[in-house]
Structure 1
Amino acid sequence: MMISVAKDMEGFTGLTHIDVNRVAFLECDSRLGKVMFNTVDNEVYYSEGTLKYWTQALNGSGYNFYIADRSTSVNIENITEMNEFLKVAYFEINKSKTSNYCTMSKSGYKEVTSLIIDKQIDVSFT
């Protein structure tokens, strides 16, 4: 499924379509009322709305997003590694200093871990 998002926060460069399967995680800046779509290839796109709205809409469309802390919703299907000490999820197999990752709360980390195990997703735990 493709969704329409902006390449810049104000939308000056117009809309583009991205495949939801490429979305690693969503971040929300409630002060700006924007949701940032972070992709597995380290691109960021923007849309109006709330984290809760986008998480529910994407899950209602058959995807597996979970609100892992108050400002982050992670695409469970795209996680490649979970770090328990740092409470972060990574989205590429050969991570580097510039690798894309998202943070989670302690309870969010536990729930995401449980979802990964339940869905039998191949994820490395460190």
Structure 2
Amino acid sequence: MLSLTVSADPEGFRDGGNVQVDQVLFISKGRKRNQILVHTFEKTYYMIGTLRHWENYLNSNGFKFLNVDRSNTLNVENVKIVNGIFRDAYFECEITKTSKRCPISYHRFDEVVEEMGFMNSKILITGAANK
């Protein structure tokens, strides 16, 4: 299984390690240039690069990552529910206040949901998307 070398420290000075790609919920742009945040259920990690680079790399290695807005790329295999009202993807079947969520672009929502459905037919779409 492919893993990513990450750091728990935003500066990359300590707490380095590896995260299995199938544990990644989504990746997002960091606050600094070329900083990427790797979101898992347990923690958020840091690595270097661009969102586009990592999306292309992961997809070319057999994974299903989809850019859902300017700042976020989902691991579609880990999405359980998409909320059509708030336009968020969730990674658990039962949503709570502490559930991790990934926002989906308002303007590309229908297109993204359709593409996600092709990539993972088990995703549950809830709520009507009001335009």
CA displacement at 1:19 relative to structure 2: 0.5
Contact 1:77/1:121, CA 8 A, preserved across alignment: no
Secondary structure of residue in 2 paired with 1:122: coil
Alignment coverage as a number of residue pairs: 125
Tell whether the 8 Å contact from 1:6 to 1:16 is kept in structure 2 after alignment: yes
Indicate if the aligned counterparts of 1:34 and 1:49 stay in contact, CA closer than 8 A: yes
- Corresponding residue number in structure 1 for 2:103: 103
Moved runs in structure 1, 4+ residues, more than 3 A?
Answer: none
Matched, 1:61 2:64: no
Q: Is the 8 Å Cα contact of residues 35 and 49 (structure 2) preserved in structure 1?
A: yes
Residue in 2 that maps onto 1:12: 13
Return the letter of the residue paired with 2:116. I
**Using the alignment, how far apart are the partners of 1:108 and 1:64 within structure 2?**
18
Give the C-alpha shift of residue 64 in structure 1. Answer: 0.7
One-letter identity of the residue aligned with 2:73: S
Mark the runs of 5 or more structure 1 residues left unpaired by the alignment.
none
Contact 2:8 2:44 in 1 (8 A): yes
Q: Quote the residue 2:129 is aligned against.
A: none
> Do the aligned partners of residues 107 and 61 (structure 1) sit closer, same or farther apart at CA in structure 2, a change above 3 Å counting?
farther
- Write the letter of the residue equivalent to 1:100: K
Q: Does 1:29 align with 2:37?
A: no
Is the contact made by 2:76 and 2:120 (CA closer than 8 Å) also made in structure 1?
no
- TM-score after normalising by structure 1: 0.90
Distance 1:109 1:33 in 2: 26
Aligned to 1:84: 84
Computed over aligned residues only, the root mean square deviation of the Cα atoms, in angstroms, reads 1.5
**Change over 3 Å in CA distance of 1:12–1:116 after alignment to 2:** same
1:66 touches 1:76 (CA, 8 Å); kept in 2?
Answer: yes
> Identity, % of aligned pairs?
30
Deviation (angstroms), 1:32: 3.5
- Whole-Å separation in 1 of the counterparts to 2:31 and 2:63: 23
SS in 2 for 1:115: helix
